[in-house]
Amino acid sequence: MIPVDLTRVLSTNDAPSFDEESALKHAVVELEAQLESIQHKLRQHQGALSAIRRLPCEVLGRIFCHALSAPASLTALGRERLRRLGQVCRGWHEASLFEHQLWSSLAGDGGTYEEVTTWLKRHQEKARRVGASLFLTIDKEYCDIDGTANSPAAKLLSDGLALDHLYLTCKRVGGVAQLIKHLSEISGTRTPPSPWDTLRSLGIDVLVECDGFEDAWGRITTPPSDIFSLIPPVKSLTVCLPSEDYIWDSSPARDVVIGIPAAVLPGLTTFIFSCDWDGFHILDMLQHCANLEDLIVEYNSPTVIEDEEGQRFSPGSINLPNLRSLELRYPLSPQLELLAYIVSPSLVTLVIEYIPNLLDESISTIKTFIERSEIKRTLSSFRLHKVSEQPSNFISLFNSMPALTHLTLQSVTLQEDFWHTLGKRQRIRQLERLEVLEVPVAQGQRIIKDIVEFLQTRGRKKCDVIVSFPDPPISPYEERESLIAGAGNLEEFDIDLRVVRAPEARNR
């Protein structure tokens, strides 16, 4: 193209000639290309200065966990996303390997036997080296697990690589029953032992129906009530049973045998049991759990233990000498009957989740349990969640907990003078961490002031305090700071006070 002098058209407001217009269009194309190249170089230089390049592997790994919803088990899609993150650069690859939550837990129903085995094989040695565990979940929330001998689940648990933890979730019990029956038949016949035989923890969650598994002729081939009698001797066991409306027996729920072997129960160190059936099922099992260290019981029913059967177990007749943590969830009965039957002299943590009808008798039951177990001087952590009205004798509960170092009150309605009375009576003076969560926004300033005044009655003692508000939270930074500033002199009494949103409190 013949050069054209563009001085006239660029320095005046005159319209370009035909030749000048052609030259201008050509110049625009060249300048746009140069601009794109310069912008690309600019982004490269800015990227090279990015702070993310200086993030250590530990921080990047945690970011990846959040992006992939860890510690939830990775599905096939999640594994593919993790693989792509690791291909960005060497640093990202190392970060993806550093965070063991990303690769040690996977969903077995999200791929073929070969795909899952390949993933496990890739990370098995690494898991052993860093002391991590390998988790496998098979989640069939809306259908049956395929429990046939040739199914991927059966092959993984009979011929696959060694696993530490297995969690089975299904809508109906039939497929699980068939799977466990098949695995029990080959148990002890393999060298080396099958993954099923070497499990350290097992979870079975039946969501809806407990009907039996039928063969092609409509015959019940595996009585579902037998499936727990065939489980291997694990250290940790989770059993979640569906509503008694779906039990697999025509008998009343109290008479249905769950069937966990007495040989398995003494070896348990962790037991999670969720059931709404009437009767003594939980007590029948706990009497054999002499080595239990952590226990979570979900009631889901106001009549888990019936009074008319009280002759079977007397108060305090079940001794759990090694139990260190006890969590009662959804105890719809305010009597908290389970506490009346057990003794746990080593307990350090007590959690009661969602008990809207906390009554004076509930407090009396807890106090009697503490006295019977002789843990007044050793119980160090107490968490109470969802109490709509403070019982009249609530303050007296803390007379039985003088050694508390950690206290969490979440969505608990307290009387206005609660903290003042607690300080006046000089209760729980050893607190190191206090969480008061989901406080009504309208009461925020008063409650924070009362908490600080209560802690100041102890003198200078280190205490971390978290106060949270439900959504919509007190979110502006200035408002949080004003709440803290209005609480008085915190440094003088070594009080670290944080005001956070409810979701932030749950993640701490």
Residues near 442 by beta carbon (within 8 Å), at least 6 away in sequence: none
Burial bucket for residue 336 (CB in 10 Å: 0-12, 13-18, 19+): buried
Cα 318 to the center of its chain, rounded Å: 28
CA angle 258, 307, 278 (to 5 degrees): 30
pLDDT score of 218? 41
| DSSP output for 73-93 | PB-HHHHHHHHHHHTS-HHHH
| Distance, CA of 250 to chain centre | 35
Structural tokens at position 152: 């991927």
Q: Which candidate, 361, 355, 364, 374, places its Cα nearest to that of 413?
A: 355
What's the rounded Cα separation, in Å, for the pair 251 and 238? 24
Instruction: Return the structure tokens found at 12.
Output: 């005046």
336: left (phi over 0), alpha (psi -120 to 50) or beta: left
Q: For residue 338, what are its two tokens?
A: 């389970």
For residue 220, what pLDDT is reported?
Answer: 42
Low pLDDT (below 50) residues in the chain: 212-223, 307, 310, 476, 478
Give CA–CA dist 57/336, Å, rounded: 46
With a CB cutoff of 8 Å and minimum separation 6, the contacts of 209 are 171, 172, 173, 242, 246
State how far the Cα of 483 lies from the Cα of 475, in Å rounded to an integer.
12
Tell me what pLDDT residue 366 has.
93
What is d(CA 370, CA 350) in angstroms, rounded to the nearest whole number? 10
* Amino acid at site 98: F
Cα separation of 24 and 28, whole Å?
A: 6
pLDDT at 131: 56
CA–CA distance, 244 with 240 (Å, rounded to integer)? 12
> Tokens for 175?
């497929």
Q: Which helix or strand (DSSP H or E) is residue 107 part of? A: strand 105-107
Tokens in use for 149?
């001998």
Structure confidence at residue 149 (pLDDT): 75
In this structure, the number of other CB atoms found within 10 A of the CB of residue 46 comes to: 9
Write the CA distances from 466 to 217, 395, 409, 424, integer angstroms: 61, 21, 11, 22
- SS3 call for 444: helix
Q: Show Cβ contacts of residue 276 under 8 Å, excluding neighbours closer than 6 positions.
A: 241, 243, 244, 299, 300, 301, 304
The strand pair at 201-209 and 220-222 is best described as unpaired
Neighbour-count burial of 484, counting CB atoms closer than 10 A to its CB (0-12 exposed, 13-18 middle, 19+ buried): middle
Local structure of 434: helix, strand or coil: strand
Enumerate the β-bridge partners of residue 202.
Answer: 166, 237
Question: Tokens 């593919």 belong to which residue?
Answer: 80
Cβ atoms of residues 79 and 87 within 8 Å: no
Q: In whole angstroms, how large is the CA radius of gyration of the chain?
A: 31
Q: What is the pLDDT of residue 111?
A: 66
pLDDT recorded at residue 270: 97
Task: Output phi, psi for 175, to 5 deg.
Answer: -65, -40
Q: What is the pTM of this model?
A: 0.80
pLDDT, tens only, 81-124? 888 888 888 888 888 877 777 777 777 655 677 877 877 777 77
Sign of the Cα pseudo-torsion (47, 50, 56, 59, in order): negative
- In this structure, what token pair is assigned to residue 361? 């008798």
- Residue 263 CA from chain centroid, whole number: 29
Which is it for the CA torsion 19, 22, 23, 24, positive or negative? positive
